[in-house]
Structure 1
């Protein structure tokens, strides 16, 4: 991974460079999907997940709505050909893309769209899917699928199609980021940082959690971003335990305020940053400083020893040891992959390994979020921190310059 590309990931994309970066990223991503299909001896994958469709084709159409309404779908073949079934009157979302694509009209059999005709429509849908698949892959019956409703699954299997887990295939394809992807991720992170700076400027006693959270949305949409996956912002006693979403609670002087951006920004890439601040102009209490010091130590200890070639289990075993009084309220994972959204892998704590852990190997080019939440069981405050990094041959490199409260340490 070139040093100048990491430098560029921390800066703005020059206008004359943006189209080249997008073109390179699109070609790389489609090639990664093709590579996975060939490795699995699978001629094609049928995609419904809007994030997977975005990764493979760089097309986007009502992403959040399409995530729960299967209204567009795409079949990508190992040779690079694409057949896309697009939502009503939306063929224009494919304009300007250099793809070998055949466009068709999509059919949905959700109850909203089909009522009691759902099963019949699924059969009509399935007949077209089988026809296209067998036309381009006449000698193979294996089709990868990332997400499919029961009627569709039953029809394809009845026609002799063997279904492969396409979500695993796509998560593996998305694992290693190219230099161009890092530049696009950087543009999303710069937008998140502007939103965080705006939140910080507006932070004061008397405003609500919702007031503060709206500033992140404002900057995201203003700068061409897309959506925010959660509403994880909490203040005061709502910071413990973690996972309270923002509310109309009015901020009080001396409160901790913690948040997790989970922001899908420009280019469809996620910026996942967590910080904790103090409301008002006073100094943090001794307890607040202690919580912060521990969370800061966990994130930076784990970042410092994470390297390509390390197994997930080794990382979990060697990770910073959470003091006993904070173990019960620990964050749900030590670290997780990040790209267009949260991605494979999710690294379990050692205490959770038997129930939630799985092994694998960290590789150069992976982008990862290193997590911490420190809040005592039965406590009234907690600190959430998270840093987004890329793995290089030399270890972790932070992808954001968003500051920590180092004067609390």
Structure 2
């Protein structure tokens, strides 16, 4: 069927239409949450990270990862650009004092943020900015940081140096700090552990991002028609997210028909045909910077699934429901693996990379592999108010299509509570 033969989109499943804005599909969603929710979440997040700094016996933590800066202080400035151009950094001290080193001219972006105690101009020294003067700029940067560390530490350096945790830093910076007597401590553990347990207010913010994401998923469903390209359909999620206050999509994982197998192909100009299986993974950074990481699969034109498509879909649902039913606070990662759904041999080659993973402002700790890959895992246990995404990818290597499903949940003492409710397919 050609694109010009396609009628206006019509929801086959009326339940999914309910996820659009009830004021009208042409209207963005507007958050009903009061500012106090965000302010309380900020305070909780900053304190969680301070506790980790103290526990690690560090004077401070130096943050360059834009997600960690967002978590600690809720500051966001050109976050995607900052992932490959390290211009924005923060020092958070064991006493809670926070200094933002801002992009020059953007210092005002921290105005009104109760999480920030000082704002100073940043000293960016990546090569694009500094070229043959890189080392000169690195030395000036290190001198400033060490001066601040000494000042806030009463001018003292310990015998083994001043301990500074760092989440991400290029080698010249590490070398310059060590040369000045700073003991560099791996900071990723501090940030990941801090981020892994959510407050009640964080859960409210995350639920709103999920609400916006599901409105975007309803648009995807509405536009899953023959003659449309993968990119045209995928754009509907971007549209709903951005106009409703969201930020970006981490990946481009929407494929159709034969391009669902193998998985992880990015969306393209491939044209949908009636009855093809469509699969997607939202990886959406939405309002308030929180992630909604959801996956669904359905057929183009919402036709009845073929027997093979139905078998794949039912297996994926079974994996999701089984693993979901195991989760509760206190369960060890080892015990989860031992009891997790066993993938039939014919689906093992196309299995997903994880059984589940943590989620917050982005994908995060923990990341739990599937049982065939368990030897590469680490020890730990699920805690109350961890939020995780339970995953499934089902397909046969070199044969037909794949089905991708995923749900986002919060861990409680009594089990896992789903944060999303967008309907599964009812064939």
TM-score (norm 1): 0.94
Task: Find 1:46's aligned residue among 62, 70, 85.
Answer: 62
Counterpart of 2:44 in structure 1 is 28
Task: Find 1:202's aligned residue among 223, 234, 243.
Answer: 223
Check whether the contact 1:298–1:372 (CA below 8 A) recurs between aligned residues: yes
What's the CA shift for 1:258? 0.1
**SS of the residue 1:93 aligns to:** helix
Task: Find 1:111's aligned residue among 127, 136, 141.
Answer: 127
Residues 205, 13 of structure 1: alpha-carbon distance in 2 compared, 3 angstrom cutoff: closer
What are the within-5 Å matches in structure 2 for residues 2-401 of structure 1? Answer: 15=32, 17-137=33-153, 138-139=155-156, 140=158, 141-354=162-375, 356-401=376-421
Check whether the contact 1:207–1:250 (CA below 8 A) recurs between aligned residues: yes
| Partners of 1:400 and 1:73 in 2: CA distance | 34
Give the length in aligned residue pairs.
Answer: 395
Check whether the contact 2:342–2:371 (CA below 8 A) recurs between aligned residues: no
**SS of the residue 2:242 aligns to:** helix
TM-score (norm 2): 0.91
**Residues 220-239 of structure 1: CA distance to partner in whole angstroms, max 9, x if unpaired?**
10011011000000100011
**SS of the residue 2:401 aligns to:** coil
**Residues 359-403 of structure 1: CA distance to partner in whole angstroms, max 9, x if unpaired?**
101001000000000011121200000000000111000001111
| Partners of 1:52 and 1:263 in 2: CA distance | 17
What's the CA shift for 1:282? 2.6
**SS of the residue 1:382 aligns to:** strand
**SS of the residue 2:323 aligns to:** helix
Structure 2, gaps ≥5 residues long: 1-28
What's the CA shift for 1:13? 8.4
CA RMSD of aligned residues (A): 1.4
Check whether the contact 2:43–2:115 (CA below 8 A) recurs between aligned residues: no
Structure 1, gaps ≥5 residues long: 1-11
Check whether the contact 1:260–1:272 (CA below 8 A) recurs between aligned residues: yes
